[in-house]
Structure 1
Amino acid sequence: MAEAQAKPASPSGLERAAILLMSLGESEAAEVLKHMGAKDVQKVGAAMATLSNVSRERVNEVIDRFVEELDSQTSLGVGADDYVRRVLVNALGPDKATGLIDRILLGRNSKGLEALKWMETRAVADIVRNEHPQIVAIVLSYLDPDQAADVLAQLPERMKGDVLMRIARLDGIQPAALRELDEIMEKQFSGGGNLKSSSVGGIKVAATILNLMDSSQEQAILAKIGEIDQDLSQKIQDLMFVFDDLADVDDRSIQTLLREIATETLGLALKGADPRVKDKILRNMSKRAAEMLVEDMEARGPAKLSDVEAAQKEILAAARRLADAGTIVIGGKGEEFV
């Protein structure tokens, strides 16, 4: 008797996502992809591009499994946490989903310092503005860099340089001291905290926060720190990645970055940019795309400096995001910034 034909291996989560999106149709798939990050879109897109000769049986298997996942949730609120975890992992993959799961499932009951991550930056600034600068430094080090940058920008001018200098000088904090600070924050707005790490602060954290602030504030804060500790100010600058540093990024990384940036944003950012940066960007575009970009820049006319800086910040934020994901390598004055 002939042996039964081996059953094809079950598709991976990434392959199932690709098959499901391909079966949805272009417009529906596009709507789903809009809610995914660049890294995940690249992964799913690559998986979709490699699909070939997918049998109707396999498509039905993927769709049936998806329907089963939905049908298994017979009552709203029952097993909701597990459902959220499964949906996010299936949609985003385990790496990206982990942090988001923590913020969603742990964040709703967060207290103390952890709860600050869920507050509006203006509210956080109001809470800490009357605290000792050392406490403010620890709090900002505990926040996500973009949130910390927004909070720092809203603090009194006299505090900004002092706080960032203290962030740069932080070399971790004892768990007991962190718990005590958490209790202080809890009394400020009621909470309790679920602290996971005492490794906060440092020069790299200070540089990252400063990178996310307006250029005018960057220079003012660095100048203030330089008046007190010129060596520390220089160390922070050495770890910063500014728009002109794009000229030193390798071509492959530039090409990857350009896929993340809208043409309108790119054209605005290049107005008044260092010629080396402009040349680097144009050389890594197709001839036609480069010509269209130059034409668009010439037709646009003068632009506000604040708009140009905002566009440059957007590109730098995308570069740091890709670098953090390991997709590209960027450098700050010769040193790796990942």
Structure 2
Amino acid sequence: MNMMASVGEPPELKRYSGIQRAAALLLALGQEHGIPIWQQLKDDEIKELSASISSLGRVPAVVVEYLLSQFSVEVSGVATLHGSYETTERLLEGVLAPERVKDIMEDIRGPSGRTMWDKLSNVSEGVLAGYLKTEHPQTVAVILQKLKPDHSARVLAALPRDFGTEVVMRMLNTETVQKDVIIQVEQTLRSEFMTNLSRSAKRDPHEAMAELFNALDRATEEEMLSALDERAPDAAERIRSLMFTFEDLGNLLPSAIQLIVRNCNKRELALALKGAPEVMRRVFFGAMTERAAKLLRDDMASMGPVRARECEAAQANLVALAKDLGDRGEIVLNDPKSDDAMIY
């Protein structure tokens, strides 16, 4: 097909914004024909286009054809394009100096997320607050305004109270932040915080092992921990401190227990409490109405003898439910090492 021929605007084109159309065009032009254009762009323009290229995915042939015809370039044999981080990096390597390519790709790819603010959203509030408390309140105000409200709120709560109050005052009195100020903050975060974070971001293997042990049945868990007590007592103690167990539900407030009761399978709740110590039973009964508690006690009594492993499985399911509610933000699971293991 002759790409110079007049081509009507395809319906698929409506799905692409202006920046996405420019990104698709530059991807189609490739290194050889795209170099003159890339060399005329500023760094922020390159980053914006690179981020768009890396997230394009497949571009229909009719869209490629239309964009190229509009650009007055004849191209043959193009079926589809596929924009990805890899194709973006290869494209830039033929156009820019290696240092610039590295900086741009790190900025759009990151450990988790395509922008600096995406990356920060994947940093725990404790780690981020620990870094921000040494910064100027105005800088912190700019950063918190760029984060998602729920994450920003958790970071704010983790800051020292007086410092956090000062940050809030800055956020209330801050007018529209200039783009160059935001760029400067991003550069500081990238060069100082994210670089240091990436060096220390390796996950503690004890945390992964604690999650694995949480999923084991009680007998296997105790057997494995007993074996570790003999061969690596420090590791066993560390794993125990990180594990979240059925007994840890006792740290919940009554309102959170009520939420679990509303969302759980009632037979599993009866099984879990039938095999639980009296102190845990009181936690759940105390969060229920007198009538609901009586019905639950009746269900437990009518079960007769049950296997211990059934009770343990039901307890594990309640723990899993609590974690799921925590992931949805309805229950906040704190660091198990903290004195306040959970808050609602």
TM-score by length of 2: 0.39
Structure with higher RCO (Cα < 8 A, 6+ apart): 1
Please say which structure displays the higher CA radius of gyration: 2
